[in-house]
């Protein structure tokens, strides 16, 4: 058995190892066993997105947790950050989200949260993984008199929306705004439209009819083209696109231009600095951030810390340094004064707040950052050896970096959740980035496919 936990929990194709009923059952037992050492009985919140396999995985997890004496609070379909909030709100021991985020419906995953609403530290995941690996009966069963029960949080969405409405200032009034929402046929399909309408906005909702198979299909944060078209057609002020589990945001300005997570971060960081709310004058992002983001922060005098890929590492650095804003170019954005994890809806609220308080359009605000052309190629691989130990690939990377000089950069890394090697090249022109990324990707295919 290989390593189960990647950068964002356990993930894979549903009904195929490791995302099988059998594995979910054992994972449930291991989670209950670990947290039973802290709370007896442990109380665990479970939520999921809309994909077809969610019921199947949830049933197995619930059975495993109950078998080891855990108490279950089922939240149903709810965004990932909603589960993180409920962990704190319900004084739970832990939380579980059944989702594969932005991946297609054929995939699924298991994400774990601590009782304080943060993703589990690596060492805790390692301890749980060790229990899972000791199959088939990693932790024994609770006694017959200690079998757990599973109940339902019938008003989970209401609690989460109440929490979200408290984030904007009292003067927050969206009655003059027209907003297009792309909910990716995912976990935000009920929450986001209701919230923004309650706050007074005129809302046009896209992709809010999940059928178990259409989550992220040509929509959401990974596919913002329909949103951009709708913003222009409806003459809307802004478009907000979430991913399948609602922890990412990609936005569209009034002209239909797509803004990345880096651009959203830059807009919010600049505004927070100007309003004196950017604690420690610091923003945290990952190595995947665009060069233009780094240059934008430097130009406005904001300090910048860089972490490895994964919002858990961004959060850890934020807590270490006292930063209140951080995130990823993919759209995971953390406002630590408001929530313990990345939340696409909160990011949308904060972006609209900047527009209202500044009196400027999103296209005007986005001028704070110049985006360098970026090419990203995902190469399917059959193995994941250290790139530094493969001369053909390393030499090609070194050659490209030399040709780019100080006007670009190269980042090659393996996905933490899929059998993919990601090749990212940034440079002064689209032709250069596409050409160089293609050369490196071809070297990887020849050696690792």
Residue 135: what pLDDT?
60
Whether the pLDDT of residue 199 is over 60: the answer is yes
Q: What are the tokens at 161?
A: 């929306």
Whether the pLDDT of residue 141 is over 70: the answer is no
Residue 398: what pLDDT?
94
Whether the pLDDT of residue 370 is over 70: the answer is yes
Residue 168, in any domain of the structure:
no
Distance CA 3, CA 415 (A): 13
Instruction: Give 137's pLDDT tier (boundaries 50, 70, 90).
Output: low
Residue 169, in any domain of the structure:
no
Do 267 and 402 fall into the same domain? no
DSSP-derived letter for residue 7 is B
Distance CA 35, CA 113 (A): 11
**CATH code at position 434:** 3.30.310.50
User: Tokens 């970026």 correspond to what residue?
Assistant: 374
User: Which of the residue ranges 62-71, 141-150, 175-184 would you say has the lowest mean pLDDT?
Assistant: 141-150
Phi-psi region of 235 (alpha: psi -120 to 50; beta: other; left: phi over 0): left
Do 38 and 140 fall into the same domain? yes
Residue 407: what pLDDT?
81
Q: What are phi and psi of 17, to 5 degrees?
A: -50, 135
Domain boundary among 97, 124, 159: 159
Residue 140: what pLDDT?
58
Do 144 and 11 fall into the same domain? yes
Do 294 and 184 fall into the same domain? no
Query: What are 217-270's pLDDT values in tens digits?
Result: 999 999 999 999 999 999 999 999 999 999 999 999 999 999 999 999 999 999
| Average confidence (pLDDT) over 335-354 | 97
Residue 109, in any domain of the structure:
yes
Q: At what angle do helices 344-358 and 261-274 cross, to 10 degrees?
A: 50
Do 183 and 233 fall into the same domain? yes
User: Which of the residue ranges 140-144, 223-227, 327-331 would you say has the lowest mean pLDDT?
Assistant: 140-144
Helix ranges restricted to H, 234-308: 261-274, 291-299
Do 197 and 334 fall into the same domain? no
| Average confidence (pLDDT) over 176-205 | 98
C-alpha neighbours within 13 Å on the C-beta side of residue 192: 38
Residue 329: what pLDDT?
93
| Average confidence (pLDDT) over 438-448 | 94
Whether the pLDDT of residue 73 is over 50: the answer is yes
| Average confidence (pLDDT) over 328-339 | 96
Q: Are 203 and 145 in contact (CB under 8 A)?
A: no
Residue 420: what pLDDT?
93
Domain coverage including residue 434: 374-448
Q: What are the tokens at 401?
A: 């970096």
Instruction: Give 448's pLDDT tier (boundaries 50, 70, 90).
Output: very high
Residue 68, in any domain of the structure:
yes
Residue 121, in any domain of the structure:
yes
Each as own residue / partner, the long-range contacts of residues 319-323 (CB below 8 Å, 24 or more positions apart, any chain) are: 321/280, 321/282, 321/284, 322/279, 322/280, 322/282, 323/279, 323/280, 323/282, 323/283, 323/284
Do 65 and 206 fall into the same domain? no
Whether the pLDDT of residue 363 is over 90: the answer is yes
Instruction: Give 142's pLDDT tier (boundaries 50, 70, 90).
Output: low
101 counts as catalytic: yes
**CATH code at position 181:** 3.40.120.10
| Catalytic residue (one of 53, 93, 101, 260) | 101
Residue-wise DSSP of 28-90: HHHHHHHHHTTSSS-EEEEEE-S-TTHHHHHHHHHHHHHHTT-EEEEEEE--HHHHHHHHHHT
Instruction: Give 1's pLDDT tier (boundaries 50, 70, 90).
Output: very low
Instruction: Give 286's pLDDT tier (boundaries 50, 70, 90).
Output: very high
Whether the pLDDT of residue 176 is over 90: the answer is yes
Instruction: Give 399's pLDDT tier (boundaries 50, 70, 90).
Output: very high
What's the structural domain count of the chain? Answer: 4
pTM: 0.90
Distance CA 61, CA 422 (A): 32
Domain boundary among 103, 125, 159: 159
Instruction: Give 67's pLDDT tier (boundaries 50, 70, 90).
Output: very high
Whether the pLDDT of residue 343 is over 50: the answer is yes
Do 297 and 267 fall into the same domain? yes
Residue 335, in any domain of the structure:
yes
Do 73 and 142 fall into the same domain? yes
Q: Are 373 and 440 in contact (CB under 8 A)?
A: no
Residue 401, in any domain of the structure:
yes
Do 88 and 122 fall into the same domain? yes
Do 26 and 135 fall into the same domain? yes
Residue 378, in any domain of the structure:
yes
pLDDT averaged over every residue in the chain: 94
Whether the pLDDT of residue 87 is over 70: the answer is yes
Do 154 and 10 fall into the same domain? yes
Domain boundary among 236, 258, 280: 258
């Amino acid at each position: 058995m290989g390593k189960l936990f990647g950068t964002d929990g356990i993930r894979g194709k549903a009904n195929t190892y490791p995302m099988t009923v059998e594995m979910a059952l054992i994972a449930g037992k291991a989670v209950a066993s670990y947290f039973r050492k802290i709370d007896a009985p442990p109380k665990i919140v479970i939520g999921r997105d809309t994909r077809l396999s969610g019921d199947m995985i949830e049933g197995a997890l619930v059975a495993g947790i109950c078998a080891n004496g855990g108490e279950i609070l089922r939240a149903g379909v709810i965004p990932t950050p909603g589960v993180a909030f409920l962990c704190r709100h319900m004084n739970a021991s832990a939380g579980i989200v059944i989702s594969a985020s932005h991946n297609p419906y054929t995939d699924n995953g298991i994400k774990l949260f601590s009782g304080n609403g943060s993703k589990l530290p690596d060492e805790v995941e390692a301890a749980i993984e060790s229990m899972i690996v000791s199959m088939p009966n990693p932790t024994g069963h609770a006694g017959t008199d200690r079998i757990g029960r599973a109940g339902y949080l019938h008003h989970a969405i209401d609690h989460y929306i109440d929490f979200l409405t408290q984030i904007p200032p009292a003067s927050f009034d969206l009655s003059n705004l027209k907003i297009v929402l792309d909910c990716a046929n995912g976990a935000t399909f009920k929450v986001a439209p209701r919230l923004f309408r309650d706050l007074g906005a005129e809302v046009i909702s896209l992709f809010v009819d999940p059928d178990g198979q259409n989550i992220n299909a040509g929509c959401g944060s990974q596919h913002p083209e329909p949103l951009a078209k709708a913003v222009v057609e409806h003459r809307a002020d802004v478009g907000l696109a979430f991913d399948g589990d609602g922890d990412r945001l990609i936005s569209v300005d009034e002209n239909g231009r797509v803004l990345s997570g880096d651009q959203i971060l830059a807009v919010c960081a600049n505004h927070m600095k100007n309003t004196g709310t950017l604690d420690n004058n610091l923003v945290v992002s990952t190595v995947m951030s665009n060069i233009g983001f780094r240059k934008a922060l430097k130009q406005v005098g904001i300090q910048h810390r860089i972490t490895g890929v994964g919002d858990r590492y961004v959060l850890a650095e934020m807590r270490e340094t006292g930063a209140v804003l951080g995130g990823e170019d993919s759209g995971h954005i953390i406002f630590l004064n408001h929530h313990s994890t990345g939340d696409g809806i909160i990011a949308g609220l904060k972006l609209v707040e900047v527009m209202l308080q500044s009196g400027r359009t999103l296209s005007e605000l986005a001028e704070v950052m110049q985006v360098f052309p970026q090419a990203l190629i995902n190469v399917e691989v059959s193995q994941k050896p250290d790139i530094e130990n493969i001369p053909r690939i390393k030499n090609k990377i070194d050659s490209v970096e030399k040709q780019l000089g100080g006007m670009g950069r190269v980042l090659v890394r393996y996905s933490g959740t899929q059998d993919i090697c990601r090749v990212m090249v940034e440079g002064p022109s689209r032709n250069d980035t596409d050409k160089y990324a293609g050369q490196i990707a071809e070297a990887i295919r020849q050696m690792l496919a």
